[in-house]
Amino acid sequence: MALVAQSGRAEAIRAITRSSRLPSPAHGLLIAVAVGYCVIVGWRTSQSMVPTHDEVVYASQITRDVPASMFSAPRARGMSLLLAPVAFFTPSFFPIRVYLMLLAGALMYVAFRPWVKVFDRADGRYAYVPALAAGCFATLWFTVLYGSLGYPNLWLTFALVAGAGYFYRVATEPELTWRPVAGLAAAFAAAALIRPTDALAVAAPLLLAPLVVRGWRRVPSITSALAGLAIGWGAWIAEAYARFDGPLQRLREGGEINHAGLVFTLPEHIDALDGPALLCIPHKLCAGVEPVATLWWLAMPVLVAVGLLAVARRSGWLPIGVVLAASAVAVATPYIVLIDYAAARFLLPSYGLLSIPAAAGILWLVGWRTQWLRTVAITLVAAAFLGHIVIQQSILSEANDRLLSTQREIGAQAEFLRTEVGIQPPCVFWGGLQSPYLLGCRSRWLRNELPRADDPDMIAALDRGEVIVVRLGARTKPPAFMADWQRIALPQTDRAVVYIHRPGP
């Protein structure tokens, strides 16, 4: 009788909130989580930091005041489009980072919002699965760090989590409306524009599930997902023919750049969990891991399994939990078995997808009917969650400090070259992407090679009378044709110098 009364009260609350157009408590909690995440990103990251290497690649394709950097085969245009509303008007990264911070908070809500409707029919605590899943995902140090950075992984995760939720709604809701159908297509279009292969990996289990789950056999769910994928993949394939001699050649070049081959880098991905390095190249940068940094990672599959068992007793929920797990494995597998290096951000889509069943597992653990058992479970879970947050914030501080130190060094060097050395456009910069972006120069990226006198870009720069700047290691002997160029030591580093050629009068 008590359960019946509790269920009746829950249904009455939902009826009142629907009639008054107020968000339900579970929906309101998701809004609070998204706002809190936005605040933490603004508080714990720097909005004044100069752009990183990858951010320069994406932003320079859009901004009008900086020449576009080299856009290599593995990249897709989605990130440039995401930065476009601000980058089109200014190359300055302060407004871009503020925009990204606000967008991250909004998309944290957008990503998990479809799941509110999925669990809206849940009894009691399970209605809070989306808010708890968003909260768990938002506590990871790299989820916070990348909330104001222009890297694809976090933004891809938001799109994929939303896309999976909309797919389930379109496939199962009795009264289908246009909103989830449009949301499904938009989510997978955004994901495929950002990372086509990752979007396809997540979509594949969803699209195959109707072969097994009879209740999911609806045309709109499949056609909408395929339409979204077609938009992103169509743009990628068109560019492949225009710039890379076709899709296969583009994939081949992308594999070469990413050191693709049959590997097993799961240990490296675990090593990356404790920072502070953001990219484990070479592997020794991330060698070794603090055991406490892996506790959440080890607990996650257990919580997912518990969550799947918990929802197995609720009609219609088990298939989507299994498919989420399958999609998480599918999108993670290429990074573990094909890419010979690791970064914590690479597996963000998997963590975002798994947060849904993991949250269900947590809520099952605190749902004991016996009062004292429920109190003990809530206390233990709350203590574990608090400890998790403390650990993640500690790692975030160290990783953020290292990133800021590197970026301040780059910013100071660019400012020195502008104000003290007088480098200004028209100019061309060999040896990096960030300094030329900050200086307004064209960039020529060199990886383990020296500039050559017969390089067509070098000849063209000399013919046009541009200022030429070449960054080399401090102990690297310059090519013979640069022997009479001006050599200048850079501030805040003893590892690099620049050689400068100025046009004659």
Q: What is the pLDDT of residue 374?
A: 87
Q: What is the pLDDT of residue 21?
A: 65
Q: Is 265 found in the same domain as 213?
A: yes
Q: What is the pLDDT of residue 205?
A: 97
Residue 62 lies in a domain: yes
173 CB-near residues (< 8 Å, 6+ apart): 117, 180
> What are the tokens at 396?
């975030």
Round to whole Å and give the CA distance between 394 and 392.
5
Q: 149-158, 201-210, 260-269: lowest mean pLDDT where?
A: 260-269
Domain endpoint, select from 341, 365, 389: 365
Burial class (CB in 10 A: 0-12, 13-18, 19+), 360: buried
Task: Over range 383-411, report the average pLDDT.
Answer: 96
Q: Calculate the CA 292 to chain-centre distance.
A: 24
Round to whole Å and give the CA distance between 435 and 427.
12
Rounded (10°) CA dihedral 357, 363, 364, 368: 180
Q: How many domains does the chain have?
A: 2
Residue 248 lies in a domain: yes
Residue 414 lies in a domain: yes
Residue 57 lies in a domain: yes
Q: 107-116, 305-314, 398-407, 411-420: lowest mean pLDDT where?
A: 305-314
pLDDT tens-digit profile of 274-303?
Answer: 999 999 988 888 888 889 999 999 999 999
Q: Are 148 and 41 in contact, with CB atoms under 8 Å apart? A: yes
Q: What is the pLDDT of residue 449?
A: 74
Residue 246 lies in a domain: yes
Round to whole Å and give the CA distance between 475 and 168.
59
CB atoms within 10 A of CB 494: 9
Q: Is 275 found in the same domain as 133?
A: yes
Beta pairing, strands 427-430 & 467-473: parallel
Confidence of residue 504 (pLDDT cuts 50, 70, 90): confident
Q: How many residues does the chain have?
A: 505
Q: Peptide bond before 426: cis, by omega within 30 degrees of 0?
A: yes
Opening angle at CA 418, ends 414 and 419, nearest 5: 120
Q: Is 416 found in the same domain as 275?
A: no
Q: Is 361 found in the same domain as 412?
A: no
Name the phi and psi angles at 467, rounded to 5: -70, 130
Q: Is 62 found in the same domain as 165?
A: yes
Task: Over range 412-439, report the average pLDDT.
Answer: 94
pLDDT tens-digit profile of 52-82?
Answer: 999 999 999 999 889 999 999 999 999 999 9
Q: Is 67 found in the same domain as 119?
A: yes
- Range of the structural domain that residue 78 is part of: 24-365
pLDDT of 485 higher than 90: yes
pLDDT of 463 higher than 70: yes
Q: Is 419 found in the same domain as 357?
A: no
Domain endpoint, select from 310, 340, 365: 365
Rounded to a whole number of angstroms, the CA Rg of the chain reads 25
Q: What is the pLDDT of residue 19?
A: 45
> For 130, what's the count of Cα atoms within 13 Å in the CB-facing half-sphere?
30
Residue 19 lies in a domain: no
Q: Peptide bond before 276: cis, by omega within 30 degrees of 0?
A: yes
Q: Is 447 found in the same domain as 320?
A: no
Confidence of residue 356 (pLDDT cuts 50, 70, 90): very high
Burial class (CB in 10 A: 0-12, 13-18, 19+), 64: exposed
Q: Peptide bond before 23: cis, by omega within 30 degrees of 0?
A: no
Q: Is 343 found in the same domain as 411?
A: no
Residue 252 lies in a domain: yes
Domain endpoint, select from 350, 365, 380: 365
What's the chain's average pLDDT? 91
Q: Is 411 found in the same domain as 358?
A: no
Task: Over range 313-328, report the average pLDDT.
Answer: 86
Q: 3-7, 9-13, 49-53: lowest mean pLDDT where?
A: 3-7
Q: What CA–CA distances, in Å, run from 40 to 101, 128, 148, 202? A: 9, 21, 11, 29
Round to whole Å and give the CA distance between 363 and 333.
28
pLDDT tens-digit profile of 112-160?
Answer: 999 999 988 666 788 999 999 999 999 999 999 999 999 999 999 999 9
Q: What CA–CA distances, in Å, run from 371 to 9, 132, 161, 366, 416? A: 20, 22, 35, 10, 66
pLDDT of 304 higher than 80: yes
Q: 12-16, 186-190, 212-216, 302-306: lowest mean pLDDT where?
A: 12-16
* pTM of the entire predicted model: 0.93
Residue 377 lies in a domain: no
Confidence of residue 14 (pLDDT cuts 50, 70, 90): low
CB atoms within 10 A of CB 1: 5
Provide the β-strand partners of residue 259: none
Q: Is 424 found in the same domain as 361?
A: no
Q: What is the pLDDT of residue 317?
A: 80
pLDDT of 459 higher than 50: yes
- The top-scoring range by mean pLDDT among 10-24, 112-126, 334-348 is 334-348
Q: Is 420 found in the same domain as 337?
A: no
